[in-house]
Amino acid sequence: MASPPSDTVAIKSLVDLHCHSTASDGRLAPADVVARAADAGVTLLALTDHDSIDGIAEARVAAAEADIELIAGTEISASWQKRTLHVVGLGIDTESDVLKAGLAEHQQMRVARAEKMAAKLEKAGLSNAAERAASMTADGQITRTHFARLLVEDGLVKDMNGAFKKYLKPGKPGYVGSDWCELEDVIRWIHAAGGKAVLAHPFGYNMTASWRRRMLSAFSEEGGDAMEVCCGNSTADEITQATKDADAYELMGSIGSDFHGPDQHWLALGKVQSLPKSVQPVWTTLSQRASY
Ligand code: AMP
Ligand code: MN
Ligand code: MN
Ligand code: MN
């Protein structure tokens, strides 16, 4: 059979707008995340470290080398109704003073929280937690993930999930609450930096359906632009529901793996369902992104 003319050959272009590097709780340096994404066939990537944009400069250089398009992003923790939500900011100006000031506030909170967590975990049997967590992160944000890795490394639990369940969730011996800035402030910082505010992993908050509806409604009312419809670990039912939610709450859609490292063998950069046709892709509203 004759091959089709080259202009009709579909070129697979993968989009992944949520992943982490060593600027927060990812395993790989920003440049290595970008190179790995390019190898996996990703053509449009956002690096979204927790409360940080510190990996973006390195990622930009690597993206230019690998010929992959990079969107500057961050995943910001936010308080809403005494809960923590994650808001991904996409297409942000990394020089924005408003955004930089907000992230600096969260970074200070993380340092203070990590000290308290380390002290509690040391009491609970994790040796040298403060020093080891600090050396793991170098210049990155200290997150609960780092302590979870130490708990696994020392054999106090058998896997990451066990670390969260036994030590790091509310009510557990290593848990310290955090007073992140309010959702409306976080959305405001992202908008001040010219970015779009995306509600991350809407099924990742252990909420009942009625709380999820309340959250989506508040996010939309407070000016949120989009929600993640397809995440790396989404089920088909979640995607169906999120597609309906995006329509009902007038939100655009985003997709992202939430890749943290090669050890998460069930996740890979670019391994995300495509956005259902009825949902407007948030990346088409970022400058120059309309062709994806
Ligand atoms: P933090 O922002 O410091 O509270 O840390 C939150 C991070 O912990 C998330 O971004 C996830 O990467 C990680 N995390 C939360 N729950 C789990 C879990 N059950 N297993 C593995 N990682 C988790
Ligand atoms: Mn994380
Ligand atoms: Mn998250
Ligand atoms: Mn994430």
Domains of the chain: 15-106+183-285 (3.20.20.140)
H or E segment and range at residue 76: strand 69-80
* 157 CB within 6 A, ligand 1: no
* 159 CB within 6 A, ligand 1: no
pTM for this structure?
0.95
* 77 CB within 6 A, ligand 1: yes
In this structure, the residue with its CA closest to atom 20 of ligand 1 is: 161
Residue 270: alpha-carbon gap to chain centroid: 14
Q: 241: buried, middle or exposed (CB in 10 Å: 19+, 13-18, 0-12)?
A: middle
Q: What is the mean pLDDT of each run of 10 residues along the chain (292 residues)?
A: 48 87 97 98 97 97 96 98 97 97 97 96 96 87 96 97 97 96 98 98 97 98 98 97 98 98 94 96 80 54
> What pLDDT sits at residue 231?
97
* 143 CB within 6 A, ligand 1: yes
> What pLDDT sits at residue 13?
74
Output Rg (C-alpha) for the chain, integer angstroms. 19
Q: 212: buried, middle or exposed (CB in 10 Å: 19+, 13-18, 0-12)?
A: middle
Q: Give the Cα separation of 275 and 19 in Å (integer).
A: 17
* Pocket mutation for ligand 1, best pick of 50, 145, 166, 257 (most atoms within 8 Å of C-beta): 145
Q: Write down how long the chain is.
A: 292
- Residues bordering ligand 2, an ion, CB closer than 5 Å: 25
Look at residues 220, 234, 225, 224 and name the one whose alpha carbon lies nearest to residue 274.
234
Under a CB-based contact definition with an 8 Å cutoff, are residues 74 and 130 in contact?
no
* 149 CB within 6 A, ligand 1: no
**Which ligand does the CA of 143 lie closest to?**
1
> What pLDDT sits at residue 3?
46
> What pLDDT sits at residue 6?
47
